[in-house]
Structure 1
Amino acid sequence: MYQERYQVRLLPRDVTFTTDGEQTVLEAALNAGIAFPNRCQVGACAMCLCRKLSGTIRYDLEPMLTEKEQEEGWIFACQAVAESDLVLALA
């Protein structure tokens, strides 16, 4: 089976890593050796909260974000799975 690969660009550091569309954005960053803020990895601590500037993600479990936060592009990297190339900004 063909596995999708997506590029994730992380600002303001301007580093890029890939994800396979199955792992979370946080897992992909950590697997690539990128220091990405995190603590709990289950969406409770908000350490991995970042802003999606472009691209599409999905969640297997809907995160605890208000509608306004989601409209502003905030995502939990520990819960988000890429469905396209992404550009993210750390808070």
Structure 2
Amino acid sequence: MYQVRLLPHEMTFTAEHGQTVLEAALNAGIAFPNRCQVGACAMCMCRKLAGEIRYQLEPMLTEKEQAEGWIFACQAMAESDLVLDLD
């Protein structure tokens, strides 16, 4: 299990191995923005400030967006503790 910290709200929840960040947040009762849950609407897009993630299928993010730390929470799985910015 990994700890996920959401800024600027200072909320923390755990993500199990193989579980998406969005699934883990919703299971913890966190109102994480989302709509389609398949990486098409970009509602769950947030910035990864620290930690490692992986995707089963590569998301539709530009190289610039990926370099800036943007992730799709509905597709990203934690590979370490994470710090994410929802602001």
Partner residue of 2:67? 71
Matched, 1:35 2:25: no
Gap runs ≥5 in structure 2: none
Bigger Rg, structure 1 or 2:
1
Alpha carbon RMSD of aligned pairs, Å? 0.5
Partner residue of 1:61? 57
Q: Residue deviations 1:5-64, cap 9 Å, x none?
A: 100000111000001121100000000000000000000000000000000000001000
- The AA in structure 1 aligned to 2:13 is F
- The AA in structure 2 aligned to 1:37 is P
- The AA in structure 2 aligned to 1:58 is R
Gap runs ≥5 in structure 1: none
- The AA in structure 1 aligned to 2:44 is C
Question: What percentage of residue pairs aligned between the two structures are identical?
Answer: 82
TM-score (norm 2): 0.98
Whole-angstrom distance in 2 between the partners of 1:64 and 1:50:
14
